[in-house]
Structure 1
Amino acid sequence: MNESLGNTLILIGCAIWAVALSFFKIAERHIDSSQINLIKNSVGLVFVTGWMFFTGGWNPGNVDLAWQLMFASGVIGMAFGDVFFLSAIGRLGVGKATSMALLTPVLTLVLEFFILNRIPNEGSFFGMFLVLIGVFYLHGPVKNISKEGFRLIFLACACVAVAQVLARWSFDLDQDLSLGTSAFFRVFGGVVGMAFIMGRGLRSKYLSAISKGPHLKPLMIGAFLGTGIGICLYQSAAKLTTATQLSFLGTTTPIFAIPIAWIIAKEIPQKRVVVGALIAIAGVSLIFLF
């Protein structure tokens, strides 16, 4: 495992994802989160299909369970998880939502222990506690907590944590599963998951989302960056590093997202959000670095 390369790819991916989220925030002023996620995943599927053939073509590996886990990872993470997360962005803003999403590494650590038998290190429990302090601090006093926003973020974090562990499990089962093919299965799972979520309204919502309007340009830019380029970087990193490391370095997203959202989406950062994010990042550092 070339973890240093994997870690670098994660950081680049976090910066690109932060830019994409700001464009999705603009698009969400005109269409709902399920429409954004449907287009995001559809554009990503076209992109990764080309990437798959560019990097060696169709290669599902030698273990059927491996690509099935990757497909399930896409359904859970890219369909359900991203719908919850994009909905949370609409309620909380990019900065607060990405900062609260720092709960993901904590959930990933727990899942890796039970599913992949990876034992947490000594600083894990104190680190988890510090993450929770940071997340609740940035959300503000208890009386001001948006229960719906917190619920959406928690569901998003849980789905993404499960998806990350499934992706890591898939690569552990079959190292011959190519990056391009694994990305295809993951994004295809995201598209199928969105078709299930939207049900009978799929066709009308799809046509509405791609119709000309003020949402279309930011939506397409976000989809190209977030899923098109982002999934290629993410899949490469997922094969090169552990799920916990992937989740840990993913916590750098707020560092990029808060200033980028200020510039692109005109979302003025709150001091509480910045401080809370730093506390939570320190907690994640204790979980994975000590």
Structure 2
Amino acid sequence: MMAYWGEIAALLTALFWTVTSMAFESAGKKVGSLAVNLIRLVIAFFIYSIYTQISRGMWFPFDATTYQWGWLALSGLVGFVIGDLLLFQAFVVVGARISMLIMAMTPPFTAFISYFILGEVLSPMNWVGMIITLLGISMVILKRENSALNGGEKIRKRLTSAYSVPGILLALGGALGQATGLVLSKKGMGDYDAFAASQIRVMTGIVGFAILLVFMKRYHRVWAALKNISAMKRISLGSFFGPFLGVSFSLIAVQNTKAGIAATIMSIVPVLIIPPAIIIFKEKVNWKEVVGAVITVLGVAIFFV
């Protein structure tokens, strides 16, 4: 069992991200994605401080080296500020279910980036698994549409997007940001404590979003969000399962297995999120979307063959 500790941590990460994506989608539609991003990181920082004080005897990562601070801070900037900003806006535009499905693009992005930065090489079966995962995603987001030619005499079928193109691009940007953040985290973390490493990333994210809010003159939205009790409940729930548990377990995963494998297992959220999407948000899910999500998970399962 411990031989697969990295894979198990990645699976738990997927469960945590299922909860947090639903919570943040709901909160983002109420108070905006920028406010949600900053508040959830501040909450997560205090959770980390309490946990690391208990587990390590220090509330702040005083023992991190300059090397670790540099790479983990860069990881937080890329993964949290850039990647999550795009992802959270995708939640608002196309919803958490489709956004997290597109986020399954993270594995090939991660594998490609880790090849150049970490020198990690995936096996042929790993690549087969990722190709199947991508086929599952394509099945959901693409559709065939009839178009008339020559005054309607001929009908031609063409592939189009079944969902908002800007929303899909936002989610793709989120996937690229998360993939880069994962690889940078692994490079900077080494054997350092995953929770303390996550705390460094969170602090960088707080600074980045604070600067962004001031620059865009949207800081008033933070105060409005803090007064919205319903939104704050969702942000608090998402903060515990996302920036705290989810991010920390994702780092545990990349510490104990290849970054590309960890990212692929984390991408099963699209299947995990279907039941709550139907029950909580009353979304209508057709058979093609269910089959596409299942194919995505089958692609993940190949990593264990």
Q: Normalized against structure 1, the TM-score is what?
A: 0.88
The SS at the match of 1:123 is: helix
What is the CA-CA distance between 1:106 and the residue it aligns to?
0.7
1:190 to 200, 205, 208: 205
Q: Is 1:143–2:143 an aligned residue pair?
A: no
Distance 1:3 1:270, change over 3 A: farther
2:222 to 206, 218, 231: 206
Paired residues of 2:17 and 2:241 also in contact (CA < 8 A):
yes
Mean alpha-carbon deviation: is it higher for 54-63 or for 15-24? 54-63
Tell me which amino acid in the other structure corresponds to 1:283.
G
Distance 1:179 1:193, change over 3 A: same
Paired residues of 1:248 and 1:285 also in contact (CA < 8 A):
no
Distance 1:276 1:83, change over 3 A: same
Distance 1:121 1:238, change over 3 A: closer
Query: Matches of 2:64 and 2:249 in 1, distance apart?
Result: 23
Q: Which has the higher contact order (CA 8 A, sep 6+)?
A: 1
Paired residues of 1:48 and 1:232 also in contact (CA < 8 A):
no
The SS at the match of 1:55 is: helix
Pairs aligned (count): 285
Paired residues of 2:268 and 2:300 also in contact (CA < 8 A):
no
Q: Is 1:244–2:260 an aligned residue pair?
A: yes
Paired residues of 2:130 and 2:264 also in contact (CA < 8 A):
no
Larger Rg computed on CA atoms: 2
Query: Matches of 2:228 and 2:260 in 1, distance apart?
Result: 41
Match of 2:11 in 1: 11
Query: Matches of 1:212 and 1:199 in 2, distance apart?
Result: 21
Query: Matches of 2:53 and 2:218 in 1, distance apart?
Result: 29
Paired residues of 2:268 and 2:296 also in contact (CA < 8 A):
no
Q: Is 1:281–2:281 an aligned residue pair?
A: no
Mean alpha-carbon deviation: is it higher for 108-117 or for 186-195? 186-195
Match of 2:247 in 1: 231
What is the CA-CA distance between 1:188 and the residue it aligns to?
0.8
The SS at the match of 1:143 is: strand
Q: Is 1:50–2:50 an aligned residue pair?
A: yes
Match of 1:39 in 2: 39
Query: Matches of 1:30 and 1:185 in 2, distance apart?
Result: 29
Which consecutive unaligned segments of at least 5 residues does structure 2 have? 144-158
Match of 1:221 in 2: 237
Query: Matches of 2:253 and 2:127 in 1, distance apart?
Result: 26
Distance 1:139 1:116, change over 3 A: same
Mean alpha-carbon deviation: is it higher for 12-21 or for 41-50? 12-21
What is the CA-CA distance between 1:238 and the residue it aligns to?
3.6
1:121 to 104, 120, 123: 123
- Percentage of identical aligned residues: 23
Which structure shows the higher strand fraction? Answer: 2
Match of 2:188 in 1: 170
What is the CA-CA distance between 1:158 and the residue it aligns to?
0.6
RMSD (Å), alpha carbons: 2.3
Q: Deviations over 1:166-224 (max 9, x none)?
A: 1111123xx2x333321210111221221233233253122121113542322222223
Query: Matches of 1:180 and 1:100 in 2, distance apart?
Result: 27
Match of 1:87 in 2: 89
